[in-house]
Amino acid sequence: MAEPRDVPVALSTASVYPESTATAFEIAARLGYDGVEVMVWTDPVSQDIDALRRLSDHHGIPILAVHAPCLLITQRVWSTDPWTKLRRARAAAEKLGASTVVVHPPFRWQRQYARDFVAGVWRMADETDVRFAVENMYPWRYRDREMLAYAPAWDVTQDDYRHFTIDLSHTSTARTDALEMIGRMGDRLGHVHLADGRGSAKDEHLVPGRGDQPCAELLEHLTVSGFGGHVVIEVNTRRAMSGAEREADLAEALAFTRKHLAAAVRLPRR
């Protein structure tokens, strides 16, 4: 068993939506997060390296990861060409001192990109010290119909990547066993998006502890396994009735995460 180690806990800027990227830095600093993951999306500040550096310096909060613009709503952010998006995400991470770029597998209709994706991500990873951590996704469901929207696969462990991101809201939506998936990722697990879910067809991103995913077990595993990446709180606070309620949710998520990371350190050694 590896020696227990401290695991940094970051706040995804997506967790404050519909508030701004700048607000995420402010909340992360006030609550005592170790850093932020920048979700590059339609907020112009999230796309501006100089603006992000100023926010990081002003609040004393490091940028630990950059989430490339892979969502449907970000198809025109940083170009319509997906490889250009990844190159710009890598450049942003390098300039901002972030260690990880999070990327989703391609949409199935991005046929050429999907065909080249696995080899292309390896090539890009070979050109930098930044980790490209490919994130597990899920089938899209409507009533009793299922659509496989991602290629080569939503279950990224079916393909050969240097590093993975595990997202527990996505394992919930996919109705797959998160701990089994983590086992398949092995020491290539490089990044964690921590959220919860209850198996809904809708990607829920609940505060950890409010669903049925093994959030606590995952955190305890990370501490004792020698995990060298980051845990990122990526939750949905859109239904918060006020800024104070949103901040309380993000404080609860941080407290839950630190509690269970620390619990493994206190376990008796054998």
Provide the pLDDT for residue 201.
87
DSSP labels for 181-234?
HHHHHGGGEEEEEE-B--S-SS---BPTTSSSS-HHHHHHHHHHHT--SEEEE-
The rounded radius of gyration (Å) of the Cα atoms in the chain is: 17
Orientation of helix 82-96 relative to helix 49-59, angle to 10°: 30
CATH number at residue 57: 3.20.20.150
| Assigned domain for 240 exists | yes
What is the C-alpha separation between 254 and 33, in angstroms, rounded? 7
What is the C-alpha separation between 70 and 55, in angstroms, rounded? 23
Query: Under 8 Å CB-to-CB from 79, ≥6 apart: which residues?
Result: 85, 88
Query: Under 8 Å CB-to-CB from 24, ≥6 apart: which residues?
Result: 11, 12, 13, 15, 16, 36
Provide the pLDDT for residue 48.
98
Q: Using one digit for the tens of pLDDT, what is the confidence trace for 64-95?
A: 999 999 988 898 899 999 999 999 999 999 99
Provide the pLDDT for residue 266.
52
Provide the pLDDT for residue 168.
98
Q: Using one digit for the tens of pLDDT, what is the confidence trace for 187-232?
A: 999 999 999 999 998 899 999 999 999 999 999 999 989 899 999 9
Provide the pLDDT for residue 148.
87
- Indicate the Cα dihedral angle 124, 10, 136, 203, nearest 10°: -140
Q: Residue 196 CB: number of other CB atoms within 10 A?
A: 22
Report the number of distinct structural domains present in the chain. Answer: 1
Give pTM, 2 decimals: 0.94
| Assigned domain for 4 exists | no
Q: Tell me, what DSSP letter sits at residue 90? A: H
Strand partners for 65 = 37, 100
Domain that holds residue 153: 9-264
| Assigned domain for 3 exists | no
Query: Under 8 Å CB-to-CB from 213, ≥6 apart: which residues?
Result: 168, 169, 171, 172, 178, 195, 196, 197
What is the C-alpha separation between 154 and 162, in angstroms, rounded? 16
| Assigned domain for 226 exists | yes
Provide the pLDDT for residue 267.
46
Q: Residue 3 half-sphere exposure, CB side, CA atoms within 13 Å?
A: 2
Q: Which residues of the chain have pLDDT under 50?
A: 1-2, 267-270
Provide the pLDDT for residue 264.
63
| Assigned domain for 2 exists | no
